[in-house]
Structure 1
């Protein structure tokens, strides 16, 4: 039985969280004020609306954490409220630009996305609260690992088996579209499969860590232990083949390989996983025109093969916008990020790059870096092996998704269609991101909470990694 020092009082840091939340809300209000001043030359009642949203979100979630996860990390929530608020401001700013374009062409504008994003934010906060209240101990998820895996696989495969008219957008079959409503179930599948991967590897890590043959100074795993990795690879290839979605395949396979590495501490799994994914990507390039088009745009974005109305126009405008922004940006509301197709979803990073410049983008990336780092820190500090793998996998989800998005926008990698967590427009992405935050908050609360009683869970669930 582990008993904490009764004379040692561990601070909850909830007041620190509250102060940071107030600062985050003020930054969001300042950003919205800058947009309105640049576009209208004055402040309007809209400023009150876009100030109220982050204020209510921050206050409600703070009170829930103070009541149900009082030892949770104090930095995660303020960072997310700031990112979510800034994303809402940029989406509103893009609505204003699209409305101006419509007015100049004599058309009516009815596609405002900011009000819908406010609604999705409210639903995301509700999901966050529900998870925090219902899941009092993250270790309880381990008991339902296989059930959650089946649900995750169902979510992942459902768009692929539906007719294209119900699932395909821009060549990728990863959506469910019905009666004007659309959702991307893969955003929830990645969370469920991460939970399963963490639970499975806690049980099997000793077997997977056994050395096999040594080649070029590296101990590779035994052939009989390749099963889980090959199954994950085949699953991702199946998603790629049926859904033509390289981004989602990369995300899922990357998560599983990293969890394998963390569980076994053997770099050979990373090498084998990298070779398998490279081989699968090459085969996909040879077989599917959609993948060939994305790679062609990446290699030759300004080629005459891709005309202005063609497939490379989005990347061209993104690069022009980033170049226009330069170091300090054009200022919020002073650029033209609305000229990029889908600027509020796939390319919202380029929208920020144009109007806030390199400094603004570095600031955003720094916020994500702190969020990911705090997630990893929770994984290192928590006492059970399942929590360590779960927090590591969820934090890596944010890191890998952000890397793939930024790499696509800046032409480091082919564009994949993934969205930026908390910033991009879209209900599926926002709900999934808030769900991940809830689980990270729960793990961080367990990591910092003083241990005063005998754990009630089975001993195998509470193993501490070496």
Structure 2
């Protein structure tokens, strides 16, 4: 056990060393010195990571030790790139990002300590649904919601700043989806008629997916947010497939959302603009169009191309030339300075986190935990796919953020809580079964059987009381 713990802490310390090296290299190349404020914040972050690791050993001793080192590296790489862009744009986004990271670590520590059993979330399934929907629709409240870049997905907190409530809504809706599908999986798994060799669901079981589809289309119409609507619908469909095992649900979900997206592209200009920018990014008319032009995509593509295989070197590129380089297009910024090899390393870190979550979902025996773990990890995987796919022209841009890397406190805290939930579930999945072959267990089992046997003998030897005759008495 000591050797295992040593390897675990060595993995975390290695991630810290790589992170410090990235910051040191970037600052030496851009400013020639390491700023004191970053020294203090990075030191505080490392201390909090070590405290979180200690809390995991104390309260979640069987949890996966792979997730947090990968999350640390992803956060450090993203924040180092944000700090690099700050040097060119004369901003301080990276310092605020480190503050958000420290807050996220504190919340993760509280979750690890107090959520000893994740199944408590099942009791609040409908409360989670209400909270999730309120958070999702809160940007539509007049005076509270804000519209930025054509999408109304932010709310203003008393003039102190903006948050994106949809990032937290995905957690609450994942709780509700897992509980609902666990309770109704038998009805949803019943097949109806066959069509082209595919077992279709019954018409009366189509209600949940229709409701979620309408809610997703509502987000697309009201908030002009293609990414969030696609993420929630894809989360529900994937969890529905895990619950029932029927491929027909995936096919129905893909067809339903594709039909809704095509209709939305014809009706709403902002959706059509993104499709045009995806199909013809180098067309001069589309490139010059504002809003909805392809200038941002093309700039990101040229940044990726200039990075080549090994990149220009951390701190030696020009990522700030791309709009929103520290948030929506941070993957393109990394590609310019770290190259294709660096981008593949980043994707490998995501794959390690996703693989750990999928292994947890396969190992856990509880159906609710299986659905929750698979839903959370698929949400992360889907976000990574849509961001990378949008930047590389595989799919249209969706407006989602890269988990752990993009600038923004809402996304960072929500995804840290997602990782903490996976850690709590993995503790239950990896916990060893109670030993049933020990001498103590056998002795207790024999004692119970002996006691049961003695009671049966005693009951058999007791005289049977005869009822007195109604007319009986002394002769």
- Structure 2 length normalisation: TM-score? 0.88
Contact preservation (8 Å) 1:404, 1:413 = yes
- The structure-2 alpha-carbon separation of the partners of 1:158 and 1:42, relative to structure 1 and needing over 3 Å to count, comes to closer
- The structure-2 alpha-carbon separation of the partners of 1:430 and 1:12, relative to structure 1 and needing over 3 Å to count, comes to farther
2:149 maps to which of 170, 186, 189: 170
Contact preservation (8 Å) 1:160, 1:239 = no
Match of 1:419 in 2: 401
Deviating more after overlay: 50-59 vs 374-383: 50-59
1:363 maps to which of 345, 348, 368: 345
Deviating more after overlay: 246-255 vs 131-140: 131-140
2:235 & 2:246 partners in 1: Cα distance? 15
Contact preservation (8 Å) 2:135, 2:168 = yes
Gaps of 5+ in 1: 1-9, 100-110, 455-466
Q: Does 1:436 align with 2:427?
A: no
Contact preservation (8 Å) 1:187, 1:432 = yes
Q: CA deviation at 1:123?
A: 1.2
- 1:184-199 equivalences under 5 Å are 184-199=164-179
Match of 1:246 in 2: 226
> Helix, strand or coil: the match of 2:405?
coil
- The structure-2 alpha-carbon separation of the partners of 1:425 and 1:44, relative to structure 1 and needing over 3 Å to count, comes to closer
Q: Does 1:15 align with 2:10?
A: no
Q: CA deviation at 1:426?
A: 0.3
Contact preservation (8 Å) 2:387, 2:397 = yes
- The structure-2 alpha-carbon separation of the partners of 1:51 and 1:73, relative to structure 1 and needing over 3 Å to count, comes to same
Q: CA deviation at 1:14?
A: 3.8
Q: Does 1:372 align with 2:372?
A: no
2:94 & 2:112 partners in 1: Cα distance? 27
Deviating more after overlay: 365-374 vs 291-300: 291-300
Tell me which structure has the larger Cα radius of gyration: 2
Match of 2:450 in 1: none
Deviating more after overlay: 19-28 vs 309-318: 309-318
Match of 2:74 in 1: 83
Q: CA deviation at 1:45?
A: 4.3
Match of 1:72 in 2: 63
1:39 & 1:149 partners in 2: Cα distance? 47
Q: Provide, for residues 276-323 of structure 1, a one-character-per-residue CA deviation record: whole Å limited to 9, x for no partner.
A: 000110111111111111111112222221455843221111001000
2:89 & 2:286 partners in 1: Cα distance? 24
Q: CA deviation at 1:42?
A: 5.1
Aligned-residue Cα RMSD (Å) equals 1.9
1:355 & 1:420 partners in 2: Cα distance? 17
Gaps of 5+ in 2: 437-475
Q: Does 1:341 align with 2:341?
A: no
Q: Provide, for residues 1-52 of structure 1, a one-character-per-residue CA deviation record: whole Å limited to 9, x for no partner.
A: xxxxxxxxx8994433211110001111111122123223455546634642
- The structure-2 alpha-carbon separation of the partners of 1:309 and 1:226, relative to structure 1 and needing over 3 Å to count, comes to closer
Q: CA deviation at 1:134?
A: 2.0
Contact preservation (8 Å) 1:155, 1:186 = yes
Match of 1:458 in 2: none
Q: CA deviation at 1:167?
A: 2.1
Q: Does 1:56 align with 2:47?
A: yes
Aligned length: 433
Contact preservation (8 Å) 1:57, 1:81 = no
Q: CA deviation at 1:451?
A: 3.4
> Helix, strand or coil: the match of 1:174?
strand
Q: CA deviation at 1:119?
A: 1.2
- The structure-2 alpha-carbon separation of the partners of 1:289 and 1:81, relative to structure 1 and needing over 3 Å to count, comes to same
- The structure-2 alpha-carbon separation of the partners of 1:309 and 1:214, relative to structure 1 and needing over 3 Å to count, comes to closer
2:17 maps to which of 10, 26, 39: 26
Q: Provide, for residues 346-383 of structure 1, a one-character-per-residue CA deviation record: whole Å limited to 9, x for no partner.
A: 01101110000000000000000010010010111112
1:16 & 1:73 partners in 2: Cα distance? 13
2:141 & 2:28 partners in 1: Cα distance? 49
Q: CA deviation at 1:275?
A: 0.6
Deviating more after overlay: 190-199 vs 39-48: 39-48
Contact preservation (8 Å) 1:29, 1:50 = no
Q: Provide, for residues 185-227 of structure 1, a one-character-per-residue CA deviation record: whole Å limited to 9, x for no partner.
A: 1101111111111111111111111110100001000000001
2:52 & 2:317 partners in 1: Cα distance? 34
